[in-house]
Amino acid sequence: MSEPSGKLAIGTTQFGMSYGIANKNGQVHRNDITAILDLGWGNGINTLDTAKAYGTSEESIGNYLKGHLENSWEIITKISDRKNSLSDQLNDSIEKLTIRPTSVLAHSAELFLDNTFQTKLQEAKEEQSISNTGVSLYSENEINQILESDFNLDIIQLPLNILDTRLYHHGILRQLAEKGIEIHARSAFLQGLFYLSKIDLEDRFEDVIPSLEKLKSISAAAGLTLPELSLLWLVNLKEVTKVIIGIDNVEQLRMHLQTLKKNVDTSVFEEALSINYENENILNPSLWPAKS
């Protein structure tokens, strides 16, 4: 059986910009990036997730890879620009990353469903410029739109965590897995919301407090924190191929690797899954109220 850490992919938004509601340190510095990626590679992690929209993330990854040519990382990048050609954007990514990305994804359902984009994406795959194609999505409605398309994609990135279990409960994960599509779960900690205290939540996220308190109670009874419970549930989901976790510092990654060594009875997950929270205004960070 493969190591659970092999199921992790390092999300690199913080490598190119300040990101995450619980991130107090801003963009990750170059030396810290080296420490994070060295630790990840040494523990069986071989996948990095980036995007052209993530500030200088691609360049930061490229700076690291220049000094680590012996390591063959799998690189996923996402495209969001509709104005410039896919080939130009792909060449730009190759130049910044210093290697060819393994997978190229549309950063939205709208772009993915564009016929010209799909044609160019298929051409890039046939020319073996890239190995995998796909899309990053936000909702069940978008997933259904994509599945109605004739394009045979390889990867779908989607939001999933122990609070936002809608796609699990609605059978969407099973449906995608049966079609042979890789599921990459992101927002494992709801963009850092799981790390906020009750006081921090009261101003903007009051509605979710009762559900989070129940989940924290279930986690504590199992000797876990809420983020640990969420990560362990995702890693144990057979339908999920990769779990993308954003990393702010090397200690954070070390902590997650320690979490993966913990054993959890499936009854703990079942108890947590009995909490059906479906408030889109909380579960979708793009709808979060502005900080007062």
Q: What is the DSSP string of 99-163?
A: S--SEEEESSHHHHT-HHHHHHHHHHHHTTS-SEEEEE--SHHHHHHHHTSS---SEEEEE--SS
Name the band, by pLDDT with cuts 50, 70 and 90, for residue 25.
low
Q: Please choose, from the candidates 213, 212, 255, the residue with its C-alpha nearest in 3D space to the C-alpha of residue 232.
A: 255
So what's the pLDDT on residue 171?
96
**What is the maximal distance between C-alpha atoms in the chain?**
54
So what's the pLDDT on residue 157?
98
Q: What are phi and psi of 281, to 5 degrees?
A: -65, -25
Q: What is the DSSP string of 223-252?
A: T--HHHHHHHHHHH-TTEEEEEEE-SSHHH
Name the band, by pLDDT with cuts 50, 70 and 90, for residue 69.
confident
So what's the pLDDT on residue 83?
84
Name the band, by pLDDT with cuts 50, 70 and 90, for residue 23.
very low
pLDDT surpassing 60 at residue 22: no
So what's the pLDDT on residue 81?
84
Mean pLDDT lowest for which of 33-37, 147-151, 240-244, 265-269? 147-151
> What confidence tens digit (pLDDT) does each residue in 154-199 have?
999 999 999 999 999 999 999 999 999 999 999 999 999 999 999 9
> What confidence tens digit (pLDDT) does each residue in 271-286 have?
999 999 999 999 999 8
So what's the pLDDT on residue 290?
78
Task: Determine how β-strand 74-79 pairs with β-strand 103-106.
Answer: parallel
Report whether 53 contacts 16 (CB < 8 A): no
Q: 49: buried, middle or exposed (CB in 10 Å: 19+, 13-18, 0-12)?
A: buried
So what's the pLDDT on residue 7?
97
Mean pLDDT lowest for which of 16-30, 54-68, 78-92, 222-236? 16-30
CB neighbourhood size of 77 (10 A): 29
Alpha-carbon torsion, ordered 152, 89, 17, 247, to 10 deg: 40
So what's the pLDDT on residue 84?
87
Name the band, by pLDDT with cuts 50, 70 and 90, for residue 67.
confident
So what's the pLDDT on residue 17?
72
So what's the pLDDT on residue 40?
97
Domains by residue range for the chain, with CATH: 4-198+226-264 (3.20.20.100)
pTM: 0.94
pLDDT surpassing 50 at residue 1: no
> What confidence tens digit (pLDDT) does each residue in 86-128 have?
999 999 999 999 999 999 999 999 999 999 999 999 999 998 8
Report whether 124 contacts 104 (CB < 8 A): yes
Q: What is the rounded average pLDDT of the residues 66-93?
A: 90
